[in-house]
Structure 1
Amino acid sequence: MKKKILNLGILAFAAALVAGCSDWTEAEPNNYFEPRPAEYYEQLREWKKTDHSVTFGWFGNWTGQGASPVNCLMGLPDSVDFVSMWGNWYGLSPEKWADKREVKSKKGTRVTICFIVANCGDQTTPQSVRDNWQANGFASEDAAVKDFWGWVDGDQAAIDAAIAKYAKSIVDTIDKYDWDGFDFDYEANYGSPGNIAGPNLGDSGDPETNRQRTNFLTFVKELGKYLGPKSGTDRLLVIDGEPQNMHPDARDYFDYYIIQAYACYSYSNLDSRYEKLLRGLEVGDDEALKQMVTERLIWCENFESYAADGGVTHTTRDGQTVNSLKGMAMWESQYGYRKGGVGTYHMEYEYSLAGHSIEYPYLREASAIMNPPMK
């Protein structure tokens, strides 16, 4: 097995931070909403900059206000590294602005927007273009949208320019609302094919098949000028859904590959998905690439359906029976590399669960497994 050699200075620094701030990775602290000293939050923000497996989630039903923090980003566990907003990411109320600003500045939690991209113009085409296509003389809504972006079927130069314009509109939206990046929900074979996502080519994880997705690659490269590890901006570009089926040349443009391993009953299912990801991204026998991909891999469970039990019943590699989110946190690569982290879909559904005295009990437990508190 390959083992990563850590710089001892960095390791010591990270250990000191965790030792000093064990509360945020504790599974059961006393009171998550009590006031904290400024030093606590300073150390928390610094710890989130260290090399560790992250805690993530898609957050919905956001209001930024209310008697209970269930609909507020500030109500999330301190250990959450970044969040993708599932809806409600534009037209922000003053309460949402304040909530987002506080969780970013105080806890160092990064917040991205998330939506499915199938076709050029998804989510950022002005509604008037879609509503008035007949009045404006177009044969269909699709034709009106293509005209707005400058897309001309069969003219690759025009298509590339339209894709660049669309990618920049997403970045402009991120700038306008002060988000920390974009979560590209990519589901070409799961029901959302299109002129950017590409056709439904099957969930094979075959890199040669996926090289047909040339518009996808153009789109990702355009986003990569402003977001992600190639941009130099420290703003996130992540992909969820089907990272194993994307154009393999897009591999280096993403900070994380998020896999929706919903209703995951055993480690063998995770191993199978992992191997498909490595195959789809053309990792081969390159150990450096294998390490990079593994450290960017985030497993996620569906808490819209399974929050009450922390997932489904899951069998670990060593034969333990646990909830599936815990199983994902316990999962380790067969090759010895650290995973990117774990997360949940509709994480807010775990805020208050019958039989539990704390909020987000399963997500806190998973975070503590990956990053054990040091006493």
Structure 2
Amino acid sequence: MKKIKYYTLLLVLLTGFVSTSCSDMTEPETKEFDHVGGFNTLNNAKSEKYYADLRAYKQSAVNYGRPVAFGWYSNWSPAGTYRRGYLTSMPDSMDIVSMWSGAPSRFNITPEQKADKEFVQKVKGTKLLEVTLLSYLGKGRTPESVYQEVEKQAKTEGWYNDEARLSEAKKKARWKFWGFNGEFNSENHKQALAKFAKALCDSLEANDWDGYDIDWEIGSGVFDMDGTLSSNEHLIFLVKEMNKYIGPKSDPENKGHKLICIDGHFRSLTEPLDGYVDYWIDQAYGRITNFDNYNIDAKKIITTENFESSFASGGQLLRQAASMPSNGYKGGVGAYRFDNDYDNTPNYKWMRQAIQINQKVFNEWKAKQSK
């Protein structure tokens, strides 16, 4: 009976359908929840049990209990009855989602976004991450007032149209705000990065996001570098400082913490940051990740496809979902701009299949371990 319950629950969670009562666990219903404008309107004992089971399923991924379903969400616009832009329209069994469209603060989030976000986090148990192409000290946390003061001065003194001078003045104002004196790789530089690390984490807490996804693509044409966060050494120091507040090292007893993920060019970072990062996200994009090539436990690696270009065909997503390392199991599978998959028939066609395959190969591996 226990195995039947587990199998049925897994089937329910991966397809987004409602399960029946315990006495009917072997005969799952195929009645979908009714959505209006992206929100679930069914409020009864059956739906409450479904969501409780769904949250328990999400919890089973904590501490690498199973592979996760991951994605970067690119068009968050929950408004009206067309559901494409709703987080609530994602497959229920999405575990972790990076907000590529932005992670607004509590001061500028719309009522529709707030309701959509809270339903997905609190009712469905999905973790939502802020994600940034991190490339300089203060990115995403420098108050606009710092730049506005420079612009005001530039207009007053007549050099507002001098783009080079204005950009340099804004940079120096930003450095001053974070306490950086311009001496690179000094103790002062570290102090400024430490201040930035705390601000990153404090903001996540204040705005109720579930972690931070660092998009690390230094050397690939990132245009806003200023030398303050442009080397592996800088990032290593920053991430270790962040672990004072969020990430694995902030939670030695594994009671639960906000996540730290790194995607992009991370091969040289896995060893020095081993134990400081929850998931390493491989932008495999059109290929199959060779998990054995990384000097890190494969269960911390998520392999991803690019649905900016291959959402119609699914690209290599299903093969990535089926792939496994030679030892153990992978961290999960996902896609960049996976919300484009909503436009397929049925919606999220490829992602739903990938979630099923992702868990199927894990369960097969797990079954072999008990023999």
The 1:247–1:23 alpha-carbon spacing in structure 2 relative to 1, beyond 3 Å, is closer
Shift of 1:346: 0.9
Residue 195 (structure 2) pairs with residue 185 (structure 1): no
State whether residues 188 and 197 of structure 1, in contact with CA within 8 Å, keep that contact through their aligned partners in structure 2.
no
Aligned length: 315
Deviations 1:50-86 (A, max 9, x none): 1111001111211222212211111110110011101
Residue 335 of structure 2 aligns with an amino acid whose one-letter code is T
Residue 60 (structure 2) pairs with residue 37 (structure 1): no
Q: TM-score, normalised by structure 1?
A: 0.77
Q: CA RMSD in A?
A: 2.6
State whether residues 18 and 47 of structure 1, in contact with CA within 8 Å, keep that contact through their aligned partners in structure 2.
no
Shift of 1:229: 1.1
Residue number among 94, 108, 112 corresponding to 2:111 in the alignment: 94
Deviations 1:210-239 (A, max 9, x none): xxx322111001111111111115211111
Deviations 1:156-198 (A, max 9, x none): 2211111111111111221222111111111112223553543
Aligned to 2:243: 224
Aligned to 2:190: 160
Bigger shift: residues 75-84 or 243-252: 243-252
Question: 4+ residue stretches of structure 1 with deviation over 4 A?
Answer: 12-16, 27-32, 134-139
Residue 358 (structure 2) pairs with residue 370 (structure 1): yes
Deviations 1:284-342 (A, max 9, x none): xxxxxx5xx2001001111111101111xxxxxxxxxxxx00010011112x2100011
Shift of 1:13: 7.7
Deviations 1:114-160 (A, max 9, x none): 01111101111112323443655885322111111111232622111
Shift of 1:104: 1.1
Bigger shift: residues 20-29 or 150-159: 20-29
State whether residues 216 and 247 of structure 1, in contact with CA within 8 Å, keep that contact through their aligned partners in structure 2.
no
Question: For the pair shown, which has the larger CA radius of gyration, 1 or 2?
Answer: 2
Where 1:299 maps in the other structure, the secondary structure is strand
Distance in structure 2 (CA, Å) of the matches to 1:328 and 1:247: 21
Q: Which runs of 5+ in 2 are unaligned?
A: 18-28, 35-41, 155-165, 364-371
Where 1:24 maps in the other structure, the secondary structure is helix
Residue number among 262, 267, 272 corresponding to 1:239 in the alignment: 262
Bigger shift: residues 122-131 or 171-180: 122-131
State whether residues 55 and 341 of structure 1, in contact with CA within 8 Å, keep that contact through their aligned partners in structure 2.
yes
Q: Which runs of 5+ in 1 are unaligned?
A: 1-11, 200-212, 284-289, 312-323
Where 1:367 maps in the other structure, the secondary structure is helix
Distance in structure 2 (CA, Å) of the matches to 1:83 and 1:117: 18
Greater relative CO, 1 or 2 (CA 8 Å, sep 6+): 1
Distance in structure 2 (CA, Å) of the matches to 1:63 and 1:173: 22
Distance in structure 2 (CA, Å) of the matches to 1:328 and 1:27: 22
Where 1:153 maps in the other structure, the secondary structure is coil
Distance in structure 1 (CA, Å) of the matches to 2:115 and 2:247: 26
Bigger shift: residues 183-192 or 342-351: 183-192
Where 1:43 maps in the other structure, the secondary structure is helix
Residue 152 of structure 1 aligns with an amino acid whose one-letter code is N
Aligned to 1:112: 129
Distance in structure 1 (CA, Å) of the matches to 2:78 and 2:250: 30
